[in-house]
Structure 1
Amino acid sequence: MDIGKKVWIIPDGFLPMESTGAFNSHEAICVLNTSSETAEIELTIYFEDRAPMRKINARCLGERTNHIRLDKIIDVEGNKIPVGVPYAIKVESSQNIVVQHSRMDTTQSEMALMTTIAY
């Protein structure tokens, strides 16, 4: 069975400027590749007031998962996603994949975890 899609959208992204406690606030794109072939993944990050960040590459081996931490990725020019700025994400893959978006918010001592399947 062919599971997933080749293009996914995550409209709500945000990396807070501050964290509290031992954990850093972060977001991740959780990828599941059920095919036997490696999925070559390209991310595009969109903003409200600036040009997109393009050509952020990742991969997910066949029949594996990959948790892509958005606070650690860089584009081809060496830029990271800026903190304190809303953004959206387009995930494009060479193979059908399933994409989940997770956010760990540690801006308060009562940490929160949010997760949802991308569109």
Structure 2
Amino acid sequence: MPQATGEKLWYIPDAYIPEKSSGGLTSHESVCVINTASEDALLSFTVFFEDRAPLEDILVVVPARRTKHIRTSSLAKGGASIPVGVPYAIEVRSDIKIIVQYSRLDATQAENALMSVIAYPVRSSS
């Protein structure tokens, strides 16, 4: 049986969806998750803001032995979503160990920029 790899709690402290894009591409961000286990992973997202209450308990399933790229613009709860042009941070909790990577495509200028980093894992004892 394939074992779960990674951690159950991850943080992405610097997130931002630009208001405007230029050229043929649209600026966007993705939370990229890999689930190496033989069971589905249930993720719960909390999105934190500087000036308002967080969006909490946004649920996403990553199937067993699969990867999923979750556009942050798709994260919503009760009709509320992440506004463009507003800094935010993300907490990702999972019921099993996963690996989280964060990617941003900035298409605000003629030269596009792509940034990708491993999120900050919080070590668990299990």
Range class of TM-score, shorter chain: over 0.9
Cross-structure match for 2:65: 63
* 1:26-63 Cα deviation digits (max 9, x unpaired): 00000000001000111000011111011111110000
Match in the other structure for 1:96: 97
1:52 paired with 2:29, answer: no
The aligned residue for residue 113 of structure 1 is 114
SS at match of 2:9: strand
| 2:44 matched residue in structure 1 | 42
> TM-score under structure 1 normalisation?
0.96
**Letter aligned with residue 97 of structure 1:** I
Which moved further from structure 2: 9-18 or 65-74? 65-74
Aligned to 1:36, the other structure's residue is in SS state coil
AA partner of residue 93 (structure 1):
S
How far does residue 97 in structure 1 lie from its aligned partner after superposition? 0.3
Partner of 2:124: none
SS in 2 for 1:15: coil
Match of 1:25 in 2: 27
How many residues are aligned here?
A: 118
Q: Out of 11, 16, 19, which is 1:14 matched to?
A: 16
Deviations for 1:49-102, whole angstroms, at most 9, x for unmatched residues?
111011111110000000000112211x11110111100000011110000000
TM-score, normalization: structure 2? 0.91
List, as ranges, runs of 4+ consecutive aligned residues in structure 1 with deviation greater than 3 Å. none
Tell me, yes or no, if the aligned pair for 2:42 and 2:59 is still in contact at 8 Å.
yes
**SS across alignment from 1:71:** helix
CA distance in 1, matches of 2:70, 2:42: 13
Give the % identical residues: 50
Secondary structure of 1:109's aligned partner: coil
Contact 2:11 2:91 in 1 (8 A): yes
Amino acid in structure 2 at the alignment position of 1:91: V
